[in-house]
Amino acid sequence: MPATEPRSDDPGTIGGYRVRGRLGAGGQGVVYLAEAPDGRPVAVKVLLAADEEAAALLRREAEILPKIATFCTAQVLEVGTAGDAPYVVSEYVEGPTLQQAVAARGPLRGRELHRLAVGTITALAAIHRAGVVHRDFKPGNVLLSPEGPRVIDFGIARPAGVADVPGEDLMGTPPYMAPEQFRLGVGGPAADLFAWGSTMVFAATGTPAFGTGALPAIVNRIVNSEPDLGPLDDDLREAVAACLAKDPADRPAARQVLLRLLGRPAEAATDATSPQELTAGVTRASTTRPGRWPSTLVPFGEPGPRKRRLVMMTAAVAAVIVAASVALAVLRPWAVTLATSGPLATDTHVVKVPELGATLHEHPSDPLRVTSFLRGSTELTDGLAFRAGLRAVGGDTFRPLTSRMLPLVSPSGERTAAIHESPGLAVENAGGVRFTDRDLGGEFWVHVVDPPLALRRASWSEEGDRLLVTVFDTAAEDRTVGFAVVDPAERTATVTRRGAPESGKAGYTWGPDEDTVARASGPDRISVHGLDGAVRRTIGQAALAEDEVPHFSGDGRLIARCPGRTGTACVLDAATGRRLAAVPLPEGGKVWFWYGRDHLAVYTEKSVPPRAQAIDLTGRPVRVLAEFTGGMSWTVHYGVR
Q: What is the pLDDT of residue 85?
A: 77
pLDDT digits (tens, 9 = 90+) for 264-302: 655 555 554 443 333 333 332 222 222 223 222 222 222
13-91 has CATH 3.30.200.20 classification: yes
147 in Cβ contact with 123 (< 8 Å): no
Q: What is the pLDDT of residue 368?
A: 87
- Can you list the positions of beta strands (E) in 499-641? 509-510, 516-520, 525-530, 535-540, 551-552, 557-561, 568-573, 579-584, 589-594, 599-604, 611-616, 621-628, 632-639
Q: What is the pLDDT of residue 31?
A: 86
Distance in angstroms (rounded) separating the CA atoms of residues 268 and 282: 22
Specify the pTM.
0.51
- Omega of the bond leading into 411 within 30 degrees of 0 (cis): no
Q: What is the pLDDT of residue 313?
A: 23
DSSP classification of residue 251: S
Q: What is the pLDDT of residue 295?
A: 23
Q: What is the pLDDT of residue 558?
A: 86
Q: What is the pLDDT of residue 632?
A: 54
Distance in angstroms (rounded) separating the CA atoms of residues 26 and 456: 56
Query: Which secondary structure element, helix H or strand E, spans residue 128, and what is its range?
Result: helix 110-129
pLDDT digits (tens, 9 = 90+) for 564-575: 777 888 888 887
The proportion of the chain whose per-residue pLDDT surpasses 90, expressed as a percent, equals 29
Question: Cβ of 485: how many Cβ atoms within 10 Å?
Answer: 20
Q: What is the pLDDT of residue 437?
A: 92
Q: What is the mean pLDDT of the chain?
A: 77
Q: What is the pLDDT of residue 634?
A: 75
126 in Cβ contact with 69 (< 8 Å): yes
Spell out, as residue ranges, where the chain has pLDDT lower than 70. 1-2, 26-28, 48-71, 154-172, 184-186, 264-342, 377-385, 422-427, 554-555, 630-632, 640-641
Angstrom CA distances, 273 to 257, 259, 279, stand at 12, 12, 10
DSSP classification of residue 66: G
User: Can you say how many angstroms the Cα of residue 59 is from the centroid of all Cα atoms in its chain?
Assistant: 33
pLDDT digits (tens, 9 = 90+) for 326-385: 222 332 232 223 333 457 888 899 999 988 889 999 998 888 889 998 887 544 333 446
* CATH no. of 98-279: 1.10.510.10
Q: Where are the domains of the chain?
A: 13-91, 98-279, 326-639
CATH topology of domain 326-639: Neuraminidase (2.120.10)
For residue 629, give the nearest of 333, 401, 353 by alpha carbon: 353
Q: What is the pLDDT of residue 513?
A: 82
446 in Cβ contact with 486 (< 8 Å): yes
